[in-house]
Amino acid sequence: MYRLGSRKRALGFTGGLVVALLTGGMSWAAIGNGVFQGFLHHIARQIDRDKVDFAVAESCTSWFYEQLKNPGRPDVKRLSFVTEEDRSHACAGRYPGINEARQAFAHSQSTLSLSLTFYQLALVADRDDDEQYDAGELRDIMASLNVAPLPGDDLQLLAKLKRKFDDVREAVEFTILTDSMQVLYNKGYRFTDADQAAMGRVTGES
């Protein structure tokens, strides 16, 4: 479970998937320099949006509970993300009721957790922590995600990885991530101290 601020979340990975995909005629050594940074940037932007959605849904869920406990006191809890003068109507205008707020909270929590897990996957795939994917690393991450690395330049390969992330996040499909991580771990990839530091920067915990 993700919480804003200093609260920690643990990521676990299980499952298995083995895929071997090779291409002919592609100069893998010349590809990957921009894929790593581009992929991380794409995921990080979504994490920022997910954080906002999560914070809004969490605060509004709490606000609705406060209204149930304190009827007639609509200004019990001030919401820092609201700029409207009449803050008491902010959540009521966003969600029809507490059930909708709770549903939004649960969904935003899941999507944020998935985005963070995908970010960790992208970091782990950079085995030597040099902030770029070499030929082998790029093949491995794409194979682990069952993304066919058809011949193309780094922009095309980056687009494939970004689409995969978007599709997995839209479906909130954690199994694909856990299987992909297990494939990388089976090949000797590990979550390093450098990866932990990078995760801390994106979560705001370091």
Over residues 47-52, the mean pLDDT reads: 95
Domain assignment present for residue 8? The answer is no
pTM of the model: 0.76
Domain assignment present for residue 57? The answer is yes
Domain assignment present for residue 129? The answer is yes
CA separation for the pair 174, 114 (Å, rounded): 7
pLDDT tens across 96-119, in order?
Answer: 999 999 999 999 999 999 999 999
Q: Minimal CA–CA distance to 15: which of 182, 184, 168?
A: 182
Average pLDDT, rounded, for the chain = 79
Query: What counts of helices (H) and strands (E) characterise the chain?
Result: 7, 0
**From 2-6, 50-54, 97-101, the region with the lowest mean pLDDT:** 2-6
What are the tokens at 117?
């897990």
Query: Could you tell me if 135 and 28 are in contact, meaning their C-beta atoms sit under 8 angstroms apart?
Result: yes
Give the range with max mean pLDDT: 57-61, 70-74, 161-165. Answer: 161-165
Q: Minimal CA–CA distance to 162: which of 20, 34, 54?
A: 34
Segments forming the whole domain that contains residue 116: 28-203
Q: What are phi and psi of 151, to 5 degrees?
A: -50, 135
pLDDT of 80 higher than 60: no
How many C-beta atoms lie closer than 10 Å to residue 117's C-beta?
21
Domain assignment present for residue 40? The answer is yes
For residue 196, the surrounding DSSP H or E stretch is helix 193-203
State residue 156's pLDDT score. 87
State residue 12's pLDDT score. 30
Domain assignment present for residue 58? The answer is yes
Domain assignment present for residue 45? The answer is yes
**From 40-44, 75-79, 146-150, 166-170, the region with the lowest mean pLDDT:** 75-79
Domain assignment present for residue 188? The answer is yes
Four-CA torsion 146, 43, 202, 47, nearest 10 degrees:
-120
Total domain count for the chain? 1
Domain assignment present for residue 149? The answer is yes
Percent of the chain with pLDDT over 90: 58
Question: Which of 46 and 6 is assigned the larger pLDDT?
Answer: 46
